Structure 1
Amino acid sequence: MVDYSGIVCALLVSAVCVHSQRPNYEIAAAAPRPECETIKGQRCVFPFTYKGKTYNSCTNDGTVNGKAWCAYETSRDGTAIPGKWEDCDTSVCLVPEVCKTESGPDSGNSCKFPFRFNGQTYNSCARWNWSGDNYGKYWCSTKTDRYGNHVNGQGNYGFCGFCDNPVCGCGCGIDARKNFAQSASVGAGDSISFGAASGNSPA
């Protein structure tokens, strides 16, 4: 009779060795994304409601310094508590790209789209058709009321530049082109004329 015990033992030892040398391909679980915080380390509370609108991420609505912010404390119904908000830490928060003014009374603040002025609604920077040094530039409102109307008389506007930032839509977006076309008129043998702007200029 053939003694197989030695062969079986050799096979078992070989199997153990092969298993012990097999590389470990286990993939480590991805580290959880850091929670969104304010620049002072307060944890943002999402969703939160501000002036009747609900936000699930940092927002530029209502900002006065051009930076996105969040609420870190809310009431029982989710409404942001006045004073309990701060600018978001962009290193841990998803902050949307926004159009910011480059000059004017409120330079550096973010445009508030859509905004309504002199009976017209703008979803991008609007052409400044009033005479003076700013004629032909593009501007936007930096503060609106809860209905989207430009808050006038307080210097809540600025100039956007010209097409150097796609999110501004200065003369490039559909709405801007429509506004441009409505304000321009070309007659036979005449040069392009933008005419007088309706109403007073923003203040």
Structure 2
Amino acid sequence: DLQTTGADHSATVNPDQQLIMTKHSATVTPENKCVFPFNYRGYRYYDCTRTDSFYRWCSLTGTYSGSWKYCAATDYAKCAFPFVYRGQTYDRCTTDGSLFRISWCSVTPNYDHHGAWKYC
């Protein structure tokens, strides 16, 4: 895992899971649907996770309270277009900032603020 820190939060990038976890607080909850982002054990998840599990799962509430499900293909985070990265707006996946030139996108409208991304 790669560890980075920002002015008001820390983030862990796990390329194997293609998700970002950042410390924050939470909210929200439609039943039987994954809620993104969700908080679990002090981290904010913007996509399904394998944390504490062999299979990817998600919380059904904004702050994990025991309600969860295994993720189906339709549950994974979607790209958020347009999104802001380094002050520039992107309407599609980009390789900008990618060490290996692999296309990626933000899963929130503002990567600069949330740091949440996935491969395209």
TM-score bucket (shorter structure): 0.3 to 0.5
* TM-score, structure 1 as length reference: 0.22
Higher normalized contact order (CA 8 Å, seq sep 6+, divided by chain length): 2
* TM-score, structure 2 as length reference: 0.35
Indicate the structure with greater helix content. Answer: 1
Larger radius of gyration: 1
Indicate the structure with greater strand content. Answer: 2
